[in-house]
Structure 1
Amino acid sequence: MPLISTKGTYGLAAICELSKHKDDSPMQIKEIAQNAKIPQNYLEQLLAKLRRAGIVQSIRGAKGGYVLARAPEDIKVLDILIALEDDLKIVDAKVEHPIINLFFEDVRESVKDIFDINITKLSHYQNKFLNYSI
């Protein structure tokens, strides 16, 4: 099992799109799906989980859609991944060896530290992308 499934990667892409949206109006799910290249039906499920976790807020009505529930500086990549993945798993099961179990626990905590950045830091990668040349 991979560390982060499509739930996590698609969820991060959706939140990235919402954080880039500078307009005060909500972003419609169709637009998020199109920009992030996520199947719309799957995105609906992910946004429901992110709403329950307090990361996004849904606005009803003809001009409705989704907005971030908090400032981008207050939303961490780790929050998104845990909301969608339930937890970050390095291995699927405990092994019978206590030293190896302790090692994997340390690895899991190290991975959490890596993802403990707010989503505004993702703009660094956008700048890298824009400056990328072949």
Structure 2
Amino acid sequence: MPLISTKGTYGLAAICELSKHEGESPMQIKEIATNANIPQNYLEQLLGKLRRAGIVKSIRGAKGGYMLACDPKEIKVLDILIALEDDLKIVDAKVEHPILNLFFDDSRESIKDIFDISIMELSKYKNKFLNYTI
């Protein structure tokens, strides 16, 4: 099983789309799904989890949709992944080797440190992408 499934990658993509519209009107699911290339039915499930985790909020009505629940600087990639993946796992189960268990625990903490960046910090990757040449 991969460390991050489609739940995590689609959820991050959706949050990136919402962060582009921060301070504007709510985005409808159809717009988020189209922009982020996510199946709409799947996105509905993910946004429900993200809403329960307090990362997004939903607005009802004709002009309703989804918005970030707080400033993108306060939303960590790690929070999104844990909300959608439940936890970041290196292995699925404990092994019968105490040294390996300690190693896997340390590895998981190191991975959490890597993902402990805000959504706004992902913009540095946008700059790398824009400067990428084939």
TM-score (norm. length: structure 2) = 0.98
Deviations 1:42-75 (A, max 9, x none): 0000000000000000001111100000100000
Instruction: Tell me the distance in 2 between the aligned counterparts of 1:35 and 1:63.
Output: 18
Determine the structure 1 residue equivalent to 2:112: 112
1:94-113 correspondence runs (5 A):
94-113=94-113
Aligned length: 134
Query: CA RMSD for the aligned pairs?
Result: 0.8
Instruction: Report if the CA contact (8 A) 2:51-2:58 is conserved.
Output: yes
Instruction: Tell me the distance in 1 between the aligned counterparts of 2:14 and 2:97.
Output: 39
**1:77: how far off?**
0.2
Instruction: Tell me the distance in 2 between the aligned counterparts of 1:87 and 1:63.
Output: 34
**1:102: how far off?**
0.4
**Which residue type is aligned with residue 132 of structure 1?**
Y
Instruction: Tell me the distance in 1 between the aligned counterparts of 2:81 and 2:107.
Output: 16
User: In 2 relative to 1, CA 93–22 (structure 1 residues): closer, same or farther, beyond 3 Å?
Assistant: closer
Determine the structure 1 residue equivalent to 2:47: 47
Determine the structure 2 residue equivalent to 1:32: 32
Q: Unpaired segments of 5 or more residues in structure 2? A: none
TM-score (norm. length: structure 1) = 0.98
Determine the structure 2 residue equivalent to 1:90: 90
Q: Runs of at least 4 residues of structure 1 off by over 3 A?
A: none
Instruction: Tell me the distance in 1 between the aligned counterparts of 2:60 and 2:130.
Output: 34
Instruction: Report if the CA contact (8 A) 2:7-2:46 is conserved.
Output: yes
Q: Counterpart of 2:70 in 1: which secondary structure?
A: coil
Instruction: Tell me the distance in 2 between the aligned counterparts of 1:119 and 1:56.
Output: 13
**1:22: how far off?**
4.6
**Which residue type is aligned with residue 75 of structure 2?**
I
Deviations 1:71-99 (A, max 9, x none): 00000000000000000000001000000
Instruction: Tell me the distance in 1 between the aligned counterparts of 2:125 and 2:84.
Output: 22
Q: Counterpart of 2:2 in 1: which secondary structure?
A: coil
